[in-house]
A and B are shown apart, each in its own frame.
Chain A
Amino acid sequence: MRGEPAVALSIETAGLLKRYGGVVALDHVDLAVPRAAVGLLGPNGAGKSTLLKILLGLSRPNGGSARVLGHDAVADGRELRMRVGYMPETDTLPDNATAADFVGHMAEMSGVPRGAARQRAADLLYQVGLDEERYRLVKGFSTGMKQRVKLAQAIVHDPELVFLDEPTNGLDPLGREEMLDLIGRINRELGILVVLSSHILDDVERVCDYVVVLDGGQVVASQPLHVSDDDTADLHVRVDGDPSPFLKCLGEQGLVTRPAGIEYTSDEFIVARDGDGVLDAIRDAAAVTGTPLRLLRPAKRSLEDLYVDSVGTGTDGGRDRKRVSKR
């Protein structure tokens, strides 16, 4: 288990293909995901849940291969499932059981001896904030409390990696904040790798270091989330006053500009760094037009930018963007 040497990649797939009748759910998916908190992002129907099921060995692919933590998900499913946890999207708790009984039972199902399973169930329910309620029947729990029980059962056997499928579904804003905090703690403090499947950009952005974007069963992006290459990144510029003369001057020098996102005011924009001398050109344009330059820094590429570039640029991009929420 944890004593085994760690493999460099948490998830590795090659040509992964899954069909449901005539519908292609996963279309030759190639992934090489490092050991990190990974966000699996995409609109509904993109193939996220199908990919999770295959990675857990719950569903057989029609072609290709999938490895998780170095284990073949199809041939070595049992050994793999000893080392991973799973929090499904759907309601999956027995109403007439106490949280402690159920979480302890799920620990036993992963091979933890009975006494240790009960102890770990109590510890984990404390960790997720259900210490007082652990002997209450689950049917009396709120949605947020049920999500916490689901999270506790997913990590009660101390997995190396946990798959979380839409963990903030149905939660109010406060519950969502608390759930994201918990997931962040699981990854940072407990050292458990997290694969978070979500259609909510903010959830992924807050918790994850690496993102895989799926659309129509294909991988459209797979990369670290917070990359900032200061030497090549576009430039984020903010000026005082009317920016028109400044923008016109930049345009005359052949520089391409665009608004700096929907949340920015019109005096902020991004200048594409197409070659050398862009910084000099901006400085000169500000001097020539007498425009006060308030901000000049490498532009951070937000997850929304990445998502829009990957998914939302096609003819149905608008529809896709609507299916992915930014809260």
Chain B
Amino acid sequence: MSAAPAEYGEIFDRGYRHYDGPRLGQAQAIWALARYSMARSLGMRRPWTAKIIPLLLYGAVAIPVLIAIGIRAFFPAFQFLDYPEFFGAIFLLVGIFVALIAPEMMSSDRHDGLLPLYFSRPIGRGSYLLAKLLATGLLTLSMSLVPAVVLWLGNGLLASEPLPALRTSLGDLGRITVAGTMIAFYLGAIGLLISSFTSRKSVAVGVIILGFVLSESLSLAISEALRDQPDLARWALVMSPSRTIVALVGGLFGEPELSGDVPLNAALGVMAAVIAICCAVMFAWYQRRD
């Protein structure tokens, strides 16, 4: 009698097993939370309806870049989209993107009651916020920085002498990186702060968008009222995120007509201060233990 063929199968013991493997530290927990938050914000492993708006926004940012690269390939003499124009064109989309993902990062956890579960894990409250800031920053960078870097690469590689062209435009890459990174964390921090105060995503989305619009109107009105005092009027402009971003881009790329007389250092300082204040307020808010 021949032996039973091996493919007949195996018997698995599915009883409970204790876990004896490694336990990774705080950095692993922060990265795990950031990764999970990014995936949920983009609608991954969720119904297709959750994926539509992020995909549309990515498409809206990618299309002008692809067109610019296409024009550069076929009509080298024709300059379609420079970097200040690119940032001017996309920062509104980045704002909408932040209004979409920040509530998913913060408000959802409150709505679903996940905070007690997270805080009963080794991750601390500060680490929780760090993970959320990291997730929001990285996702927003994919909107504000990655397309600009693709544009820079396209411009360089399609030049008649690619390597020298890339080498001579390294300064542009640095400016693109500063602009993209500051925009991502500046808008991300504002969006996260607003979202951390409500468990309703729709409320957070509305407040973020309304906040951007109202701050623009308010800043314009105040700067107009202070027309006779240009120093003060200049500072009124940085009340608006969009004006601050335009000032940053104008200052970085040496286009004073964009910067609206706001010095580059002032724009950078205001953005850094807003990021720090948003983080400090969120930290204080989440330290409340009861």
- Interaction A to B: yes
Asked if A108 contacts B29 (CB within 8 A), the reply is: yes
Q: Which of A258-305 contact B (CB under 8 A)?
A: none
A114 within 8 A of B: yes
B4 within 8 A of A: no
Contacts of A157 in B (CB 8 A): 19
Asked if A78 contacts B124 (CB within 8 A), the reply is: yes
Chain B interface helix/strand/loop/mixed: loop
Asked if A92 contacts B14 (CB within 8 A), the reply is: no
Q: How far is the CB of B50 from chain A (nearest CB, A)?
A: 7
Asked if B117 contacts A127 (CB within 8 A), the reply is: no
Q: How far is the CB of A6 from chain B (nearest CB, A)?
A: 14
Which residues of B does A touch, CB under 8 Å? 14, 16-26, 28-29, 32-33, 36, 40, 45-47, 50, 108, 112-114, 116-124, 289-290
Which of A96-104, A201-209, A215-223, A235-243 forms part of the interface with chain B? Answer: A96-104
Asked if B21 contacts A112 (CB within 8 A), the reply is: yes
Asked if B117 contacts A58 (CB within 8 A), the reply is: no
How many chain A residues touch the partner (CB < 8 A)? 47
Q: Which of A111-155 contact B (CB under 8 A)?
A: 111-114, 116, 120, 123, 126-127, 137, 153
For this complex, 19 residue pairs linking A to B, each with C-beta atoms less than 8 Å apart, are: A59-B290, A78-B26, A82-B23, A86-B116, A91-B112, A91-B113, A92-B112, A94-B112, A96-B46, A105-B36, A106-B121, A110-B121, A112-B19, A112-B21, A113-B21, A116-B19, A126-B14, A157-B19, A189-B16
Asked if A114 contacts B45 (CB within 8 A), the reply is: no
Asked if B117 contacts A106 (CB within 8 A), the reply is: yes
Asked if B122 contacts A111 (CB within 8 A), the reply is: yes
A158 within 8 A of B: yes
Contacts between chains A and B (CB distance < 8 A), count: 108
* Complex partner residue of A94 from B20, B28, B108, CB under 8 angstroms: B108
Q: Closest 7 CB pairs between A and B?
A: A108-B32, A86-B120, A158-B19, A111-B23, A92-B113, A109-B121, A94-B112
Nearest to B131 among chain A residues (CB) is A109
Q: How far is the CB of A122 from chain B (nearest CB, A)?
A: 9
A193-B120 Cα distance, complex, nearest whole Å: 17
Asked if A59 contacts B114 (CB within 8 A), the reply is: no
